[in-house]
Amino acid sequence: MPFNLLVFASLAYVTILFGVAFFVERSAERGAAGWLRSPLVYTLSLSVYCTAWTFYGAVGYAARSGLEFLTIYLGPTIVFIGWWWLLRKLVRIGRQHRVTSIADLISSRFGKSNLLGVIVTVMCVTAATPYIALQLQLVTLSFGVFASATADGWAKPDGDVTAIWVAGGLAVFTILFGTRNLDANEQHTGVVTAIAIEAVVKLVALVAVGIFVVWGIADGPRDILARIDASDMANWHMKPSRWTGLIFLSAAAVICLPRMFQVLVVENSDERHLATASWAFPLYVLMMSLFVVPIAVVGLELMPAGANPDLFVLTVPLSQGQGSLAMLAFLGGFSSATSMVIVASIALATMVSNHIVMPFWLSLRPARAVPGDVRRLILLSRRLSIAAILALGYAYYRGSGGSAALAAIGLISFVGVAQILPAMMGGIFWRGATRTGAMWGLCIGFAIWAYTLFFPSFGPDAVLSAEVMANGPFGIAWLRPQALFGVHGMDPLIHALFWSVSLNTVAFCAGSLLTFPNPVERVQGAAFVNVFDAAPANARGWSEQGAAGAEDFLVMAQRILGDDEALGFFEAQAGAQGKSGYLPDPTPSFMEQLERRLAGSVGAATAHAMISQIAGRAAVSVEDLMAVANEAAQIMEYSNKLEEQQEELSRTARQLRDANDKLTQLSVQKDAFLSQISHELRTPMTSIRAFSEILTMGDLPPDMVTKYGRIIHDETKRLTRLLDDLLDLSVLESGTVQLNLDLHNLRTMIDGALQSAGHTRPERSFVIHRDLPGEDIFIRTDGDRLTQVFINLISNARKYCDSDAPELHISVRRKGGRVTVDFIDNGSGIAKDKQALIFEKFARLTDQTKAGGAGLGLAICREVMASLGGTIAYLPGQWGTAFRVTLPLRMERP
């Protein structure tokens, strides 16, 4: 097969994936991605466990050591069918605490300690590097197989050149889709769907090759079984230590590998999907491994003695002249490699940016300073991390020369990440586990892993000299890397696994037993271990006496979550407290929710640090400590209902209090208004009466009659206008208003409104910022009414904006079936205590003479918007006074 055709096929394949990911992200933004969050897609995305190592390497593994390759799949099978024990709890914790990565889980459980996050991140990156190198190596090798098969086409390129192209291409794809935006939950729908498609491709490819081998080359299953017993594989004997050790290892890896944690916990959109995955994922890996042995057996028979068994999946079909089947197999292997690299680098980049870059950057800032544009910084650091991780993988590939047997490299990685297992298990099942214990365990396990397995894997004299390998450091035989403490004759891998995990566990337990946890650790420990207990026993860390207002938090949240997300979240929180608007009270529970929400973007430790910067130090209340110390959780379960009622009561009380405040203020305003309106009515009345009396006297020159007549006319006009406004309002309020629905262009309406509002204080020159292309939307609504609202808002800005160089921003956005129009000026804004009042009738903030109107404008606006099926609200946290008008794109007649 010509090499250029191969390159073309790979590029076409990647382009299709790209398109799928793009399409899915787009439809997810429009809220139409329901079917994409199905259990099937979730299960298929878990198949990122099956990398190129399993796709190509399993056959090689089977050819070398018989059925032992099955251990790599049986371990995960046990974990998944035992989901009720572990995975269910892990997923629940992940969702409740908005965990972003495995490092975040460990750091969050042990008192939001960032040091632990850093340790886990470093371990994961170290362990993943050889694994990524392995994927690059396999893709490069598979390119090599095709290119060497024929002489035509392009010359076979240098392996290094292929690898660098593959690494670069993957970096670009991952950056484009993994870090497009800072998702609230760190979920990447597009990428996950692309991974699910790759899962199907690799399964179909492997099964197709398997069917070809069993029924095309051999003579059905019976023949295959006979061939197995006739081959070298029949001499394989199950070694108990490797069999159990490797099953344990793969079971540990499936939950500790950063990429598995990413798809299993972080990308999980519904806990119920786990129930399906509990059997569907084992079924997937069963099908992946069903044909491994047949392919290996037939490959051993057909291929010359020196052939690389790792590539049988490709070379067997090629040797039979099945070019297109080999092509499919190639795409399967390519899928396996790309999906692993993409997910692993996303997961690792999240960890690096949340646990290393962000805390470092935060520590550079003076305390209490509200951070600048954090989103851009986070995204940039993730992008750089992805590139750096792939570069590391490439460097390892170059450095190692890519010769070692594949299974070995994969298992070295597995043992590395398995070091997280004791801290993770202890963290979610044992409340007594402490941060110090976790730190001891992780460090000791990691050190032993590096010393006994990772460094020796570079070969003698690379890191550890041959002398140290043979006789131990300084000639101490007791410390030989592959025979630690005088244990001889063990398989090196099992030896490393045994010592690292057991000493890790001992250190973890000893550290936990000997040290005393700090309060945050204890609260988090209870929250994690008792995650299923009725009320989320939350780590209440914030005290209400903080001086910071909700607006400070809003400004910070906007910089991390983005304007819309943050405003939506604050609005929902305010609603839950029984308040309207965008600013909830900064209660402890609100701050805790906010912290969790931010943790979903930047990790628990960073979110905690950022909120502390604004709110001051976190305090654990006496009640919480009592709950921790006295196992009060059980009592709380019984009093749960009571608490709920109490919450309901206090919510109602808050609503009542708000309503009462409003009423009191309104009654004051109303009194003021009554005297005002009497005055307003009286003044024209007095002049009308006076002038009409003069007119009835007669004997006046005609020009005087005309003059007095005009005065009377003007004054009645003023009266009528006032009465019209009042009448308009009462019609709108009673809901009997007539609407003329028709299609209107938003830009035309804003143009008209700007022109009409220009008569208000025409001496002020306003700079208007508009987004003309964005405004070009056709809306089905009552155009006159909507324009009236716009006129009102713009003339308000003209009247009250107190800036020397007044500016008005009008921005239009479409989201789902709704349109939002924001009017933001650069004045000094409206004080928080007045914000609730401005939409009430007769409410005026400045003194009445300046305003000129009767204070009905915004009240009318609110009623108009309500009858148009939309809303109008004051938008806090902007740089000036800001109003947001929201209305449906197509208004239906009620």
Q: Which residues contact another protein (rule: CB under 8 A)? A: 28, 31, 33, 66-67, 70, 74, 77-85, 92, 95-96, 184-185, 189, 225-226, 228-229, 233-234, 236-238, 240, 243-244, 247, 269, 271-272, 275-276, 278-280, 282-283, 286, 290, 293, 536, 565, 568-569, 572-573, 593, 596, 638, 641
The enclosing H or E element of 672 equals helix 640-697
Give the 3-state secondary structure of residue 650: helix
Nearest residue (CB) to another protein, 159 versus 282: 282
State in angstroms the smallest separation of the CB of 49 from another protein: 16
State in angstroms the smallest separation of the CB of 500 from another protein: 22
Beta bridge partners of 888: 818
State in angstroms the smallest separation of the CB of 174 from another protein: 21
Nearest residue (CB) to another protein, 186 versus 782: 186
Nearest residue (CB) to another protein, 528 versus 569: 569
Nearest residue (CB) to another protein, 237 versus 617: 237
Nearest residue (CB) to another protein, 188 versus 202: 188
Give the 3-state secondary structure of residue 268: coil
Give the 3-state secondary structure of residue 692: helix
Question: What are residue 745's phi and psi, to 5 degrees?
Answer: -85, 130
Count other Cβ atoms within 10 Å, centred on residue 76: 23
Nearest residue (CB) to another protein, 66 versus 317: 66
How far is residue 792's CA from residue 800's CA, in Å, rounded to a whole number?
12
Nearest residue (CB) to another protein, 195 versus 296: 296
Nearest residue (CB) to another protein, 296 versus 442: 296
State in angstroms the smallest separation of the CB of 31 from another protein: 7
State in angstroms the smallest separation of the CB of 289 from another protein: 8
State in angstroms the smallest separation of the CB of 450 from another protein: 30
* DSSP state string for 102-119: HHHHHHHHTTT-HHHHHH
Q: Are strands 807-815 and 767-770 parallel, antiparallel or unpaired?
A: parallel
Q: What is the CA radius of gyration of the chain?
A: 35
- Distant-in-sequence, close-in-space partners of 488: CB < 8 Å, separation ≥ 6: none
State in angstroms the smallest separation of the CB of 338 from another protein: 25
- Distant-in-sequence, close-in-space partners of 652: CB < 8 Å, separation ≥ 6: 578
Nearest residue (CB) to another protein, 221 versus 401: 221
User: Please, what's the b/e burial string for 441-453 (b: 16 or more CB within 10 A of its CB; e: otherwise)?
Assistant: bbebbbebbbbbb
How far is residue 833's CA from residue 404's CA, in Å, rounded to a whole number?
70
How far is residue 504's CA from residue 529's CA, in Å, rounded to a whole number?
21
Q: Which amino acid is at 363?
A: S
- Distant-in-sequence, close-in-space partners of 10: CB < 8 Å, separation ≥ 6: 331, 334
- Estimate the crossing angle of helix 240-256 against helix 421-429, to 10 degrees: 60
Nearest residue (CB) to another protein, 39 versus 519: 39
Give the 3-state secondary structure of residue 149: helix
State in angstroms the smallest separation of the CB of 535 from another protein: 9
Nearest residue (CB) to another protein, 227 versus 844: 227
State in angstroms the smallest separation of the CB of 35 from another protein: 13
3-state per-residue secondary structure call for 790-836: HHHHHHHHHHHCCCCCCEEEEEEEEECCEEEEEEEECCCCCCHHHHC
State in angstroms the smallest separation of the CB of 868 from another protein: 22
State in angstroms the smallest separation of the CB of 64 from another protein: 13
State in angstroms the smallest separation of the CB of 676 from another protein: 43
Nearest residue (CB) to another protein, 12 versus 226: 226
How far is residue 460's CA from residue 469's CA, in Å, rounded to a whole number?
7
